[in-house]
């Protein structure tokens, strides 16, 4: 088969056959297809989309392009549940939710992604913890999940390798925002991870890949239906991504906020709502509680009692991070040499979260090219939420930069991304829908 014929099939708007999809996935996994052909097909799919059946074939081919984990033989004694986000700005939910769910009795083998487009990646954030091994061998991954209840890792060489390569190429070729491609990318990893249940966080808004409620719903339904046909029971929450989630954006800064949350020091209300709602859905889906309210109470208890923080500390140490990380996080995390406030006057009425994500890339905290090394220390902290009154005593945010020139650019980018007015706008719900299939 000639790969140019596969590209031409999709370019001309026809459906790809099973053989064509398998040929593509094999070529991704064994690196025999060059990046220019992969990106060309990605763009053709982006423009002409895929049917439900094509997306299902792409999902299962990518899921079985490497090892598929089987937790049954581990005798875990609890449900194997995970959540996955479609990607946002300041989205550090995984670092909170995985240990909370583990403290509630779930087993969470979380295989996360790197930064994609303007959105940050959990794997990159995890690697900002000194010593943290985000690509352990399966033996260690299994042991950490079994002993502690959760392990957050990135895609290893063996797990859905076809998606790992496709993801990296999509990241830099403007081909991310496609319902079938996002569906296949997420579910390939989740099916390979051997889950019993999945909760999806479908981000909606100017910082999400889906900017309208209709598109967010379309993606949620596509994921639920495709997962169902792979016997992976999935619920989806549509959550607001029209501003930074929490108060930080940037790898080490987001880890810092996560620890402060787990230590019950700072729990930004929107972040808190997203974390507890998603986590309660995991506890409910996993059959640990029978209604959402009790599930949420159980999650809240896991945070306030410090049990979730303890799970996080044990997971981090087991994966090579510092043993005193939760107690002494500030001593371990990278810090930027330049930290300066950005000032605006008035009530913050809107934040273009995508522009904030892109501003982080400009600072060196996200990638412009495949494989680029990141500066973990840079980003934004103390980011005001929409509705906050800003002025000399309350800046919009603090910029953390490698040098003054970068900080100048970031200041301009943030000022362009945010608007103020005389009064607070109508507030959007943080969780707009729960879809259960
Ligand atoms: N997350 C993924 O894992 N893949 C996508 O394509 C988008 C978000």
- For 12, counting Cβ atoms within 10 Å of its Cβ (0-12 exposed, 13-18 middle, 19+ buried), the class is exposed
Beta bridge partners of 204: 210, 240
Give per-residue pLDDT as tens, 315-327.
999 999 999 999 9
Where residue 120 falls among pLDDT bands split at 50, 70, 90? confident
pLDDT of residue 291: 97
pLDDT of residue 254: 98
Pocket test for ligand 1, best of 186, 192, 210, 219 (most atoms within 8 A of CB): 186
pLDDT of residue 157: 82
- Please determine, for residue 311, whether its predicted confidence score (pLDDT) is greater than 90: yes
pLDDT of residue 32: 97
Residue-averaged pLDDT of the chain: 96
In whole angstroms, what is the distance from residue 131 CA to residue 376 CA? 13
Cβ contact 120:91 at 8 Å = yes
Range 188-217 average pLDDT: 95
pLDDT of residue 369: 82
- Please determine, for residue 392, whether its predicted confidence score (pLDDT) is greater than 80: yes
- For 301, counting Cβ atoms within 10 Å of its Cβ (0-12 exposed, 13-18 middle, 19+ buried), the class is middle
Nearest to 295 by CA among 167, 119, 432, 103: 103
Instruction: Return the residue whose CA atom lies nearest to atom 2 of ligand 1.
Output: 186
Q: Which atom of ligand 1 lies nearest, measured to the CA of 181? A: 6
Q: Which atom of ligand 1 lies nearest, measured to the CA of 86? A: 8
Helix (H, G, I), strand (E, B) or coil at 247: coil
Give per-residue pLDDT as tens, 141-155.
999 999 999 999 998
Where residue 171 falls among pLDDT bands split at 50, 70, 90? confident
Q: Which residues are catalytic?
A: 82-85, 122, 170, 185, 189-190
- Please determine, for residue 156, whether its predicted confidence score (pLDDT) is greater than 90: no
pLDDT of residue 115: 83
The vertex-77 CA angle with 76 and 83, nearest 5°, equals 70
* Domain 334-421 belongs in CATH node 3.90.1170.30: yes
Give per-residue pLDDT as tens, 33-47.
999 999 999 999 999
Q: Which residues contact 422 (CB under 8 A, 6 or more apart)?
A: 346, 347
pLDDT of residue 272: 98
Distances (CA, A) of 21 to 212, 229, 286, 361: 29, 18, 33, 33
Helix (H, G, I), strand (E, B) or coil at 431: strand
pLDDT of residue 90: 98
Pocket test for ligand 1, best of 93, 116, 169 (most atoms within 8 A of CB): 116
Give per-residue pLDDT as tens, 2-40.
999 999 999 999 999 999 999 999 999 999 999 999 999
Token pair 């090892």 is found at: 67
Distances (CA, A) of 298 to 107, 236, 379, 432: 15, 20, 33, 22
Q: Does residue 88's CB lie within 6 angstroms of at least one atom of ligand 1?
A: no
pLDDT of residue 413: 98
Give per-residue pLDDT as tens, 326-349.
999 999 999 999 999 999 999 999
Q: Which atom of ligand 1 lies nearest, measured to the CA of 209? A: 7
Where residue 393 falls among pLDDT bands split at 50, 70, 90? very high
Q: Does residue 185's CB lie within 6 angstroms of at least one atom of ligand 1?
A: yes
Where residue 402 falls among pLDDT bands split at 50, 70, 90? very high
pLDDT of residue 114: 87
Where residue 194 falls among pLDDT bands split at 50, 70, 90? very high
- Tell which CATH classification among 3.40.630.30, 4.10.93.10, 3.20.20.450, 1.20.970.10 matches the domain 3-48: 1.20.970.10
Give the number of other CB atoms < 10 A from CB of residue 273: 17
Q: Which residues contact 308 (CB under 8 A, 6 or more apart)?
A: 96, 99, 100, 102, 103, 262, 302
Instruction: Return the residue whose CA atom lies nearest to atom 6 of ligand 1.
Output: 182
- Please determine, for residue 53, whether its predicted confidence score (pLDDT) is greater than 80: yes
Kindly give the distance from the C-alpha atom of residue 109 to the centroid of ligand 1, in angstroms, as a whole number.
17
Range 215-238 average pLDDT: 95
Where residue 370 falls among pLDDT bands split at 50, 70, 90? confident
pTM across the whole model: 0.93
Kindly tell me the sign of the dihedral angle through the C-alpha atoms of 365, 198, 292, 99: negative
Q: Does residue 86's CB lie within 6 angstroms of at least one atom of ligand 1?
A: yes
pLDDT of residue 315: 98
In whole angstroms, what is the distance from residue 242 CA to residue 233 CA? 28
In whole angstroms, what is the distance from residue 204 CA to residue 225 CA? 19
pLDDT of residue 371: 81
Tell me if domain 72-329 and domain 334-421 are identical in fold.
no
Give per-residue pLDDT as tens, 355-366.
999 999 999 999
In whole angstroms, what is the distance from residue 195 CA to residue 232 CA? 7
pLDDT of residue 341: 98
Cβ contact 303:262 at 8 Å = yes
Q: Which CATH class is domain 72-329?
A: alpha beta
Range 259-272 average pLDDT: 97
Delimit the domains of the chain by residue range. 3-48, 72-329, 334-421
pLDDT of residue 372: 87
Cβ contact 234:82 at 8 Å = no
């Amino acid at each position: 088969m000639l790969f140019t014929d596969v590209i031409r099939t999709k370019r001309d708007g026809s459906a790809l056959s099973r053989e064509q999809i398998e040929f593509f996935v094999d070529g991704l996994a064994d690196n025999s297809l060059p990046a220019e052909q992969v990106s060309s097909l990605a763009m053709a799919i982006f423009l002409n989309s895929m049917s439900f059946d094509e997306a299902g074939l792409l999902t299962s081919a990518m899921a079985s392009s490497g090892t598929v984990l089987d937790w049954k033989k581990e005798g875990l004694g609890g449900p194997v549940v995970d959540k996955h986000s479609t990607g946002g700005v300041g989205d550090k939910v995984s670092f909170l939710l995985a240990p909370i769910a583990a403290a509630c009795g779930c087993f969470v083998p979380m295989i996360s992604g790197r930064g994609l487009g303007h959105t940050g990646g959990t794997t990159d954030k995890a690697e900002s913890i000194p010593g943290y091994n985000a690509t352990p061998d399966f033996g260690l991954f299994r042991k950490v999940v079994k002993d502690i209840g959760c392990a957050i890792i990135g895609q290893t060489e063996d797990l859905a390798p076809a998606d790992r390569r496709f993801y990296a190429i999509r990241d830099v070729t403007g081909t991310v925002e496609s319902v079938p491609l996002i569906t296949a990318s997420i579910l390939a990893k989740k099916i390979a991870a051997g889950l019993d249940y999945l909760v999806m966080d479908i981000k909606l808004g100017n910082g999400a890949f889906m900017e309208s409620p209709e598109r967010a719903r379309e993606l949620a339904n596509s994921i639920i239906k495709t997962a169902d046909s792979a016997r992976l029971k999935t619920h989806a929450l549509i959550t607001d991504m029209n501003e930074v989630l929490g108060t930080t954006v940037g790898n080490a800064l987001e880890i810092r906020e996560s620890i402060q949350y787990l230590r019950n020091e700072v729990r930004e209300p929107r972040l808190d709502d997203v974390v507890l709602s998603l986590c309660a859905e995991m506890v409910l889906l996993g059959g640990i509680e029978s209604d959402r309210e009790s599930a949420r109470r159980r999650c809240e208890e896991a945070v306030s009692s410090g049990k979730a923080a303890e799970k996080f500390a044990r997971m981090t140490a087991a994966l090579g991070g510092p043993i005193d990380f939760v107690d002494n996080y500030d001593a371990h995390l990278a810090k930027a040499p330049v930290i300066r406030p950005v000032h605006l006057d008035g009530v913050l009425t809107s934040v273009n979260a995508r522009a904030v994500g892109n501003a982080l890339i400009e600072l060196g905290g996200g990638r412009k090219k495949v494989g680029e090394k990141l500066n973990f220390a840079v980003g934004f902290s103390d980011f005001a939420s929409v509705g906050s009154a800003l002025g000399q005593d309350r800046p919009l945010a603090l910029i953390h930069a490698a040098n003054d020139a970068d900080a100048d650019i970031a200041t301009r980018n943030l000022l362009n991304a945010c608007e103020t007015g005389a009064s607070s706008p109508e507030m959007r719900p943080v969780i707009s829908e729960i879809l259960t299939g």
